A and B are shown apart, each in its own frame.
Chain A
Amino acid sequence: MRVQSLGRRAALGGVLLVLIGGLGWASTAAAQEDDLEQQAIQIEESLNCPLCEGFTLHECPLLICDQMRAVIRQKLAAGASREEIVASFVALYGEEVVNAPLLGEGFNWSAWLLPFLALAGGAAWLAYVLRDWHRRRGAIAELESVSARPPEEYIRRAEEELGEID
C-alpha cells in the first residue's frame, strides 16, 4: 500500500516536472535581450510580413516592411515595451501578423498547453502501465514459489493411492 502511494506520488511528481520544465524553458528562451537592436530583431522575427506568405517581418524585402522595421526602432527608442509594440501591430493588421498564437486569447492557450498536457498524460499512463507489468511479474513469481510445493490434499491422495497399489 505504501509502495503504491509512493509510486502514485512519483508519477504525479514526474507529470509536474514535465510541465514546470516545459514552461520554464519557454520562459527562459523568451527572455534574452541584450540591447535595443537585438530587441528590434526579436520583435521583427516574431511578426509576419502583412503581405507575403511565409516571410517574417525581419526577412521581408518589401518597402512596407522597411517602414514597419523603422517604426519598431522608433518605438523602442521612445521606451515602448515589446508587448506594446506587438499589440500596436495586432491592432493594425489583426492577430495573423504575429508569428505564434497570442496568449491573450483563450483558445490560443490550448496551442501552447496541449502538447505538454498530452505528454504529461502519456507519462502518467506510461507510469501506470510499467507498474502494472511490474506487479504482474511479482504476482507470477509469487505463484511460482507457491506452486513449486504440491498441495497437501494432492500429497495425501497420492499416498493413499500408492498404499492401494501396495
Chain B
Amino acid sequence: MADLGYIAIVLAMASALYAAAACLWGQRRGEPQLVASGRNAVFAAGGLLTLAVLLLVYSFLVHDFQIRYVAENSSRHMPTLYLITSLWGGHAGSLLFWTWILSMFATAVTYLYRDRHPALLPYTSAVLSIAQSFFLILLVFLANPFEKLPFIPGDGLGLNPLLQNLGMAIHPPNLYLGYVGVSVPWAFAMAALLSGKLDAGWIRATRRWTLLAWLFLSLGVTLGGQWAYVELGWGGYWGWDPVENSSFLPWLTGTAFLHSVIVTERRGMLKVWNMLLIILTYNLAIFGAFVTRSGIIDSVHSFTESSIGPAFLAYIALSLIGSLLLLFRRWDQLRGDHQLEAILSKEAAFLLNNLLFLGATFAIFWGNIFPILSEAVRGVKVTVGAPFFNQVSAPIFLAILITMGLGMLIAWRRQTISSLVRSLRGPVSAGIVAAIVLWLMGVRLPPALLGLSTCVFVGAVTVREFYQGTLARHRLTGEPYSVALRKLIARNQPRYGGYIVHLGVILAAAGIIGSQAYQQEAQAVLGPGQAMQIGGYRLVFQGFSELRNENLQLIRANLDVYNDQGRYLGRAEPAKELHFVRPDQPMTEADIFRAIGEPRTLFLEDLYLILVAASPEGTATLRAFINPLVNWIWMGALILIAGTAVAAWPEASEARVRVPRGAPQPAGSPTRF
C-alpha cells in the first residue's frame, strides 16, 4: 500500500511538471496538440492524487501502522470519522490533502473551460500545474506521507485529542478550500499577464471562483473561532495566535480584491491594483500554510511543525518575484488613463476601503512577524498578543465599518455633498438614537458605544438600500412588497448578495464588540451543595459523575443553574476529559449553557462554564463566563454564507441567454459583484 501510494505521488509529480511544460510550450508555439496533451496531464495528476488520498485513507481505516504517518496520527480505538480526518491531522498528510484539493481545482478549471477562454486557459492550467508541482516535490522528497517504519508497531500514537472534534473535522478542509481556491483567480491573472489578454476577461472568468474561495476562507476563519471557543475551553474564540492571524490575512486582501474588481468592471480602472491584490492574496495564503507548517512563529496551533519551512519560504519568494516580474512586464499596458469626475464618488470610497483593508493586513502581518524581527534586531524575543492586536486593529476595523456605510450611500462618478448629507440623515440618526439607548442600558465604554452605534448606522444604510429599492419597484409595477423585494434582489444578485453579506458582517462585528467589551468572569472552588454567582445566574454544584470507555475517562461537574429570580433553568455539565493515548493532555470540555425558558441564553449571552480542576476530596474548581452576543458572530457567518450564495448564484437572465461554447464573450458584458 505504501509503495503504491508513493508511486502515485511520484507519477503525479511527473504529470504536473509535464502539464506545466506542455501547456506553456504548446501555447507559445501555437501547437494545440501539445496543449491538449498538457491538459490530459492535468487530469492524470488529479486522478493520481485522488488515488494517493484514497490509499492513505484506506491505510488509516485498516490501521496499516507500517506507514509512519498512520502510526503517528491514529490508533486502533479511534472512531471511523476521526480516522478519516486524521488524513489532515499531521503535516505530510495535510500537504497531500492540500495538493489534492489544488489538483481538483486545476482539473475542474481545465475541464469546465476547455472550450472557453482559449487564449487564457492553457496558461491558467500551466500556472496551476506549476503550483501543484511545488507541493508534489515537497511530498516526494521532503514529506512523504507513505514513508514506512522499519518495524510494525502494535498500535498507533493516536490523533491529538484537540483535533478529535467535529469542528476540527470540517475547519481545516474549509480553510484549505479557501487557501487553495485563491489559486484559481491568481492563476487566471497570471494567464492574463502571460497571454497579454489584459481586459477584464480573467475577472469575469473567475468571479464565482473568487467568491467561492472567499466564502471558504470566511467559513474557515469562523469555524476555527468556533472550534477554539467550544474546544479549547478558555472562554474566547479568537486568540490572535499567529496561525489564526495568518488565516485572516488572505481574507482581508481577498475582501479588498472583491471590492476593487467591481471598480474595474464598472469603470475599467484599477487593473494594476487588482493584479497586485490577487498576487498578495495568493502569497498570503501560502504564507498561512508556511506559518502553520514551519512552526517559525511559536503558536498553540503548530501541531504539525516540520522542517519544510525553508522550502515554503523559497516558494513564496519565487512566486512573489515571478508574479511581480510578469506584472512589471505588462505594467504600461495595464496602466489606464484614469480619470475621476469627483473625489466624492463610489470609486474613491472603494479605494479608501482597499487602503483600510491593506492597513489592517499590514498591522496584523507586522504584529505576526515582529517577534522574529525583534529577535533578529535586538536578540530579545518579545510576545505580540491580544492586547497589541486589539488596540492596533480596532480603530482600523471601525474605519472599515464606517466606510462600508458611506460607500453604499455614495454614487458612482459623482456625489454632491448636499445629497450625501440628505441621505446620511436617517442612518446617522439611527446611530445616534442607538448610542443614547445603549448609554441608558449601561453600555458606557467609549469603544463599545462607538462600535455598536456604528454597526446600527451601517445596518440602517444597508436596510435602507433594500427598502428604497423595494418601494420604488412597488410604486412602479404595483407588485406586492414581498414580490418586489424578491425581484429587486434577482435583478442584481451580485449587488444585493453583497449587501446581505454586509448585514452578516455587521451582526458579527456587533457580536465581537459585545463579547470583547463586556465579558464577565468568576472563579470559585465549590464543594457539593455550594454555590457561585455570575451575571444574574446562580450555579449550585451537585457533585461529579464519571464516564469511562476504552478511549477516555470523562469527569463531569453537575451544576444546577438558577436565574436571579431563583427559577431552576436546567443542568450544566462542564467536564474534564482524559484520552488514554495522551494522558499528559487533559481536555477541557466547556458547557455553553442554554435554556429555552431563558431567552437571554439563546440570543443575548452565553453562560460558558469550565471545570478547571476536580480534586480527590470532591471539590470542583469552576470558572464561569458571561460572553455577551457571541451567538451573533455565528449568526452573522450564516447570513454571510446566504449573501455569498445569492451573489454567486447564476442569474435568471444569465440562465436564459446562454452563450454557446466557443463563442466570443460579448465585449463589455457586465460582471457585477
Chain A residues with CB under 8 Å of chain B are: 18, 21-22, 25-26, 28-30, 32, 41, 45-46, 48, 53-56, 59, 61, 94-102, 105, 107-108, 111-112, 114-116, 118-119, 122-123, 126, 129-131, 133-134, 136-137, 140
Contact = CB atoms under 8 A, between A and B. Distances in A.
Contacts of A53: 298-300
Contacts of A129: 351
B595 interface: no
Nearest to A125: B355
Given A29-B447, A59-B234, A105 B395 contact: no
The secondary-structure label for the interface of chain B is helix
Pick the 5 closest A-B CB pairs, nearest first.
A115-B363, A99-B385, A54-B300, A100-B388, A137-B339
Contact of A130 (B300, B348, B395, B398): B348
A21 B395 contact: yes
A26 B447 CA distance: 10
Contacts of B385: 48, 56, 99-100
B338 A136 contact: yes
A53 B395 CA distance: 28
Interface string B601-619: 0000000000011000000
B580 interface: no
Contacts of A134: 339-343
B337 interface: yes
B238 interface: no
A59 B387 CA distance: 15
Given A61-B612, A114-B366, A134-B342, A26 B383 contact: no
Nearest to B301: A54
Nearest to B519: A41
A67 B586 CA distance: 22
10 contacts: A25-B395, A28-B446, A46-B387, A56-B385, A95-B382, A98-B382, A99-B387, A111-B388, A130-B343, A133-B339
Interface residues of B, number: 51
B340 A105 contact: no
B384 interface: yes
A101 B388 contact: yes
A158 to B, nearest CB: 31
Given A25-B395, A107-B374, A107-B377, A136 B382 contact: no
A4 to B, nearest CB: 13
Nearest to A53: B298
B381 A123 contact: no
A96 B378 CA distance: 13
Interface string B394-413: 11101100000000000000
A46 B377 CA distance: 24
Contacts of A100: 383-385, 387-388, 391
A118 B359 contact: yes
Tell which of B348, B385, B612 has the most Cβ of chain A within 10 Å: B385
A96 B384 CA distance: 9
B391 A29 contact: yes
A130 B340 contact: yes
A26 B392 contact: yes
Contact of B355 (A28, A96, A119, A131): A119
Contact of A101 (B338, B384, B395, B445): B384
B384 A111 contact: yes
Contacts, number: 132
B239 interface: yes
A108 B374 contact: yes
A28 B339 contact: no
A77 B298 CA distance: 35
Contact of B339 (A26, A122, A136): A136
A101 B396 contact: no
Contacts of B358: 122
A112 B341 CA distance: 37
Contacts of A56: 385-386
A112 B604 CA distance: 34
Interface in B268-312: 298-300
B521 interface: yes
Contacts of A95: 380, 382
Given A30-B391, A96-B381, 19 more contacts: A22-B396, A29-B390, A32-B445, A45-B386, A53-B299, A54-B239, A56-B385, A96-B383, A98-B382, A100-B385, A101-B388, A107-B377, A123-B355, A126-B352, A133-B339, A133-B340, A134-B339, A134-B342, A137-B339
Contacts of A108: 374, 382
A101 B378 CA distance: 13
A54 B299 contact: yes
Nearest to B236: A59
A133 B367 contact: no
B134 interface: no
B341 A54 contact: no
Contacts of A111: 366-367, 370, 374, 382, 384, 388
Contacts of A99: 383-388
Nearest to B355: A122
B341 A25 contact: no
B362 interface: yes
Interface in B419-455: 445-447
B648 to A, nearest CB: 30
Contact of B613 (A21, A30, A61, A94): A61
A48 B383 contact: yes
Contacts of A94: 380
B366 A115 contact: yes
Nearest to B398: A25
A71 to B, nearest CB: 17
